[in-house]
Amino acid sequence: MKDLVHIFELEDLLQEANNKLVRQAKEDGKKALGYTCYFMPEVLLDLPGCFSVRLRAPRSGSPDMATYYMSNRTCMYGRCLLERALEGGFNFLDAQMATETCTVTCRFQEHLQLMDIIKNPDFFCEFTDVPFKKNENSIDHYEKQLQDHVLDKLSDRFGIDTSDEALLKAIEEHNEICRLITEIGRYRKLDEPTITGWEFSVIQLATLVCPKYLIIDMLKDIAEQLKTRKPDAKKTYRCKVVLTGSEEDDPSFIKLIEECGALVVADRHCYGSLPGREEIIVKEGERPLRAIARHYIETSECPRFMDQHIMRERKQYLADVAKEYKADGIIISQMKFCEYWSYERTIDTLILPRDFGYPVCSIEKEYVNNAVGQLRTRFQAFVESIELKNIQKEA
């Protein structure tokens, strides 16, 4: 296929947290607000006067200093973030809007509070409590938390306008990004997709780590180009897969899967778009903040949710995604030491083939992916097994 417009520019922007567009937004006088988790609504951090940056630690090596603080038995994502912070890579942040949603990222953010790491005199780190269930009580609670720990703090510390009008405007802008990403992502549902998993992951990640107002035009151009983009004459992949699992912000990992012959057509993982890029709907008479709280609680598919029916519906959701995107199999990838996904991966690996008939490739990986050779072998074998199954089915 012909190269996607802006794709290499966007890829460049992913090479460091304090990228060109982040610097430009800072120069525009906007406050940079870091966060790590879907449960910190980016729409609130994108209010006029500030912008959200979902933290990544691209091009990480060995996080030695962070390993001293957090030992080598914790999730490497958390450690690499701390290492990057200790190296000064997050000094551009004006605040970290934290959540205690998984242990190690929580500890990383606590280090930001405890130690004088971020060299910015106005920097602060504020925690929001996030509920574990999808009921009205949780939404009430979450709404209060967002008001107190996000909106009030932004208003008090930076003078950000957090009125309902400002929120509605932020929702509108956020929804525009969501619409564009959803439109771009829809081409993955085609019998012969006209966008690769790698391309999509670059675009999706760029929307998480760059000021949105500075990339929206690029997204529009991409969406425009995709309307007429033709698939390759000869298929370059052997099967289609859904990638699901824990934190994943490395497009080269997706490239690795695709090099093995499996086109990644859906991304149901932290930093993915499923869920994540659904539009926020404000019901009639509903406060915008209430709508935001409800949206993030209702759309999240995080294994942190404990309601019985939600735990079970998560598997159905995944199977539905696989069906909708015409996937032949599912790759479940878990960051080593992520406890939520250790268990979720275990049950998914057993239930999805048994109850939904989807072949599963279940892997554990590190944030800094050094096991490329081993993973390549696993993915190649998985692709072959799917092909064999398809041959058997046809026979």
Partner 1 sequence: MKAIGKFFFKLLKFAAIVYAILFAVFYWDLDGKFLYYIWEPLMIKRFDNMKRADNTMTPYSMKDPVE
Partner 2 sequence: MGITLKDIKAKYRELFVVEKSPEEKNKPFDPKKAAHDFWYGKEHEERRLGDLYVGNTGLYKHREWRGVKDTMYYFNMIWLYNYAHMVSDIMKYGDGPKAIVDFTKGTLRYRWMGQTYLTVMHWFDRGLEGTRGEAMKASAWHYRAMVSETIRQFMRMFEADKKIHGGEAPEKWNKTIAHNETLSGNIFYGWRDQLDDVALEMIPYFVSVHVNNHTVLNYIDAAQSIGLPSDPCPMCQAEYGLFVQDDYPDYSPVMLTSNEACDGSVATSVLQDWFLNRPLYAMPQPMRYDDPLVQEHCQKEIEGAWKFVEEQFGIKMDWDQYVKHAQSFNKLTEFEWEKWDVAANTPYYPINGVAQALYRIYYSQDGDRPIWHETDARVKAIMEKTVKNKIECFPKTRHRAIAWSCAPLYYSNWCTWAYNCWGINCVINMDSLMFDQYLRTDTYEHALEDLSWFNEKAPMRAMAVGGHEHILSLFDYMERFNCDMVIMYDQLQCKGMQGIHGVFEDEFRKRDIHAIWIPHALPDKRTVSRAEIRDIINDYMTTVMREEPLDPSLLDFDDAMSW
Interaction site with partner 2 (CB under 8 A) = 68-71, 73-75, 78, 100, 102-104, 106-108, 110-111, 113-115, 127-133, 135, 137-138, 140-141, 144-145, 148, 303-304, 306-308, 311-312, 334, 336-337, 339-340, 342-347, 349-351, 362, 364
Report DSSP state, residue 148: I
| C-alpha 89, offset from chain centre | 20
**Shortest CB 258 distance to partner 2, Å:** 25
* Closer by beta carbon to partner 1, 190 or else 311: 311
**Shortest CB 71 distance to partner 2, Å:** 4
Question: Which string of DSSP letters, residue by residue, matches 293-304?
Answer: HHHHHHH---TT
Is 135 a binding residue for partner 1 by CB under 8 A? The answer is yes
Is 141 a binding residue for partner 1 by CB under 8 A? The answer is no
* Closer by beta carbon to partner 1, 71 or else 316: 316
Tokens 């990640």 label which residue? 205
3-state secondary structure of 241: strand
Among residues 24, 71, 163, 316, the one that binds partner 1 under rule CB under 8 A = 316
**Shortest CB 117 distance to partner 2, Å:** 12
**Shortest CB 40 distance to partner 2, Å:** 13
**Shortest CB 389 distance to partner 2, Å:** 20
How much is the CA Rg of the chain, to the nearest whole Å? 20
Answer whether 332's CB lies under 8 Å from 364's CB.
Answer: no
Separation CA 104–CA 111 (nearest Å): 11
Phi, psi of 89 (to 5 degrees): -70, -15
**Shortest CB 376 distance to partner 2, Å:** 20
Separation CA 348–CA 243 (nearest Å): 12
Nearest-5° angle of CA 184, CA 188, CA 191?
135
**Shortest CB 140 distance to partner 1, Å:** 13
* Closer by beta carbon to partner 2, 308 or else 392: 308
Q: Hey, what are 200's tokens? A: 């999509």
Among residues 186, 255, 315, 336, the one that binds partner 1 under rule CB under 8 A = 315
* Closer by beta carbon to partner 2, 81 or else 223: 81
Among residues 355, 357, 369, 370, the one that binds partner 1 under rule CB under 8 A = 355
Binding residues among 160-179 for partner 1 as defined by CB under 8 A = none
3-state secondary structure of 3: coil
Share in percent of the chain as helix, strand, coil (round to 5): 55, 10, 35
Cα dihedral 259→262→267→268 (10° resolution): -130
Answer whether 385's CB lies under 8 Å from 355's CB.
Answer: no
* Closer by beta carbon to partner 1, 134 or else 365: 134
Per-residue contact flags (x/-) with partner 1 for residues 291 to 310, judged by CB under 8 A:
----------------xxx-
* Closer by beta carbon to partner 1, 309 or else 393: 309
How many chain residues bind partner 1 (CB under 8 A)? 11
Q: Residue 276: left (phi > 0), alpha (psi -120 to 50), or beta?
A: left
Q: Residue 76: left (phi > 0), alpha (psi -120 to 50), or beta?
A: alpha
Binding residues vs partner 1 (CB under 8 A): 135, 307-309, 312-313, 315-316, 350-351, 355
